[in-house]
Amino acid sequence: MSSSHDSRPLPLRPRPYPARQDGHAPYPGTKVLVLDADPQWARATARQISDLGCGTLAPALDDCLRHLDTEAWDVIVIGPSPLPDEILARVEAESGAYLLGCDATQVSPQRVHAYLSSNPDSTSLRHALGRALESSLLTHENARLKQALAHRHSFGSMHTRDEATAAALEVARSVAKTRANVLLSGESGTGKTLLARILHENSDRSGGPFVTVNCGSLPGNLLESELFGHLKGAFSGAHQDRQGRIEAAHGGTLFLDEINSASLDLQVKLLRVLQERVLTPVGGNTEVTVDVRLVTATNQDLGTEIQAGRFREDLFYRIHVVSIEMPPLRRRMGDLTALCDLFIDRFAQDYGKSVRGVSDECLAVLAGHDWPGNIRQLENALERGVLMATEDELLPEHLGNEILEAVGWHPGQPSPGSLSAGLAQLDQLPSLREALEDPEMAIITRALEICSGNRKDVAAMLDINRSTLFNKMRKYGLMDLRFQ
């Protein structure tokens, strides 16, 4: 890009943008603001730009700020005559527009996309506008993609739009390649087993075994034999030597689910394995060296278990070098639609069904449930729904009585959480204007947050023109909000 000390126009080349039919104006619908202290120069340049199909304005200096504040501009042309500092500062703050500058422009070079001569002809104007609009399209497309990525975080096969879950996945990503022991906490069905496997698959042990043991599914004596192995004759029924699951995980990852269920005696033996990296099979005397990366999970508060004397504090500190909490489904409802799509696609393929998604009413029922069984329960409900569905969409009646009774849904009534259901609980109503202002303000504020304050992007997201957006922002006192 040329510096402010080099006013020579950039070399002109045929531009691929924009594609148009012969005889059509090259830039229809583009809004261009021309600013200069010399009104004759501004009007003459504006006329040339108008011939290209642009909506062009060359206001008097005392009217510039009003047009900058109330209207959206794709391109701003800064003329050769110096402008007042107040106007220049406002132009620099206009992040949604691309700037074209002439020789004496006082706008910082980083903000000027291309330079024009003091007396630009229609050809140089056309090509400069083309460069600006091409870059504008790329910038907005990149912003859209970044926005989409910012709200859909992933690690392995786990995806989320929820901030707490995204933070958990980021911690998992950062420790995956280390050998640090990881403790996963959270309610049953929140995806701890899946995350443990993803940790293994993204570690430097991914070529080794991934061994899972559910400590809550076996009584103490059988759990010890399952983990440590046993020799023939070690106890009644031990008819042959058997390798334990810890040894089987050598060189890989051992995942102990519901670690809180392990007996205190077994906890002592697990602590020795972690400290000395050796184990002794049940009924044996010979030590076996093991190298495993340990990932554990619990659905109980281990701090409470320690105070109650049911869990060893020294083992606790060994297993939770890194602790990751998986939020329950009821706290990550932003992922509900994506989870529904994932499970429905899978089960539709498995069972040869034509179901492609959930109806709005069915989604409202799902969103109204608190999901004590979390994602696992949702998966089961959707599997049943796909099996029962006879249409392309999942309907509430396909989910089964357990879900419908839990949310109090009956055929013909408003969906839980819907506007109709909420209004049915009210005896008196506010004025329509008052009722609509709060959600409108909330929607605009959230859109500004998502778009980092870029008003052009906000207007596009909300499908309104920028003049309407500016008026509403001014109405709700949002003009001075600042976003990173």
Place of tokens 């329960």: 377
Residues 6+ apart with CB under 8 A from 123: 12
Confidence of residue 6 (pLDDT cuts 50, 70, 90): very low
Give, rounded to a whole angstrom, the gap between the first and last alpha carbons of the chain: 26
Per-residue buried b or exposed e for 224-248, using 16+ beta carbons within 10 Å of the residue's own CB: bbbbbbbbeebeeeeeeebebbbbb
Q: For domain 432-475, which CATH number applies: 1.10.287, 1.10.357, 1.20.1630, 1.10.10?
A: 1.10.10
Q: What is the CATH number of domain 31-148?
A: 3.40.50.2300
Look at residues 216, 304, 231, 204 and name the one whose alpha carbon lies nearest to residue 266.
216
Question: Which carries the bigger pLDDT value, residue 404 or residue 199?
Answer: 199
Rounded to the nearest angstrom, the gap between the alpha carbon of residue 348 and the centroid of all alpha carbons in its chain is 26
Question: Which carries the bigger pLDDT value, residue 216 or residue 103?
Answer: 216
Confidence of residue 351 (pLDDT cuts 50, 70, 90): very high
Beta-bridge partner residues of 211: 254
Point out the least confidently predicted range of 151-160, 214-223, 380-389: 151-160
Task: Tell me which range, 74-88, 120-134, 191-205, 362-376, is most confidently predicted by mean pLDDT.
Answer: 191-205
Give the domain 330-423 fold: Helicase, Ruva Protein; domain 3 (1.10.8)
Look at residues 179, 263, 183 and name the one whose alpha carbon lies nearest to residue 225.
263
- Are 391 and 348 a contacting pair, CB within 8 Å? no
Establish whether domains 31-148 and 432-475 are of one fold. Answer: no
- pLDDT recorded at residue 13: 38
Rounded to the nearest angstrom, the gap between the alpha carbon of residue 19 and the centroid of all alpha carbons in its chain is 34
Q: Are strands 242-243 and 229-230 parallel, antiparallel or unpaired?
A: antiparallel
Give the span between the Cα atoms of 273 and 290, in whole angstroms: 8
Residue 478 confidence (pLDDT) above 90: no
Residue 189 confidence (pLDDT) above 80: yes
Quick one: what percent of the chain has pLDDT higher than 70?
81
Domain 155-327 is in which class? alpha beta
Task: Tell me which range, 95-99, 153-157, 304-308, is most confidently predicted by mean pLDDT.
Answer: 304-308
Give the span between the Cα atoms of 100 and 454, in whole angstroms: 20
Residue 10 confidence (pLDDT) above 50: no
- What separation in angstroms does the CA of 440 have from each of 361, 446, 450, 466, 479? 23, 10, 15, 15, 15
Under DSSP, is residue 435 helix (H, G, I), strand (E, B) or coil? helix
Read off the pLDDT of each residue in 167-187 and give the average, rounded to a whole number. 94
Q: Any idea where the domains of the chain sit in the sequence?
A: 31-148, 155-327, 330-423, 432-475
- pLDDT recorded at residue 377: 94
- Over residues 14-69, the pLDDT tens digits come to 343 444 444 455 666 678 888 888 888 888 888 888 887 788 888 988 888 888 88
Residue 252 backbone phi and psi in degrees, to 5? -130, -140
Residue 106 confidence (pLDDT) above 70: no
Say how many C-beta atoms besides its own lie within 10 A of residue 169's C-beta: 22
- Are 81 and 37 a contacting pair, CB within 8 Å? yes
Look at residues 213, 305, 303, 313 and name the one whose alpha carbon lies nearest to residue 253.
213
- Over residues 443-456, the pLDDT tens digits come to 888 888 887 788 88
* DSSP conformation class of 109: G
What does the block give as tokens for 72?
A: 């959206």
Task: Tell me which range, 6-10, 38-42, 246-250, 406-410, is most confidently predicted by mean pLDDT.
Answer: 246-250
Task: Tell me which range, 6-20, 65-79, 119-133, 431-445, is most confidently predicted by mean pLDDT.
Answer: 65-79
- pLDDT recorded at residue 433: 67
Average pLDDT, the chain: 82
- Over residues 397-447, the pLDDT tens digits come to 999 888 888 888 776 555 555 555 555 555 666 666 666 677 788 888 888
- pLDDT recorded at residue 102: 74
Quick one: what percent of the chain has pLDDT higher than 90?
34
CA dihedral 128, 133, 138, 139 (to 10 degrees): 100
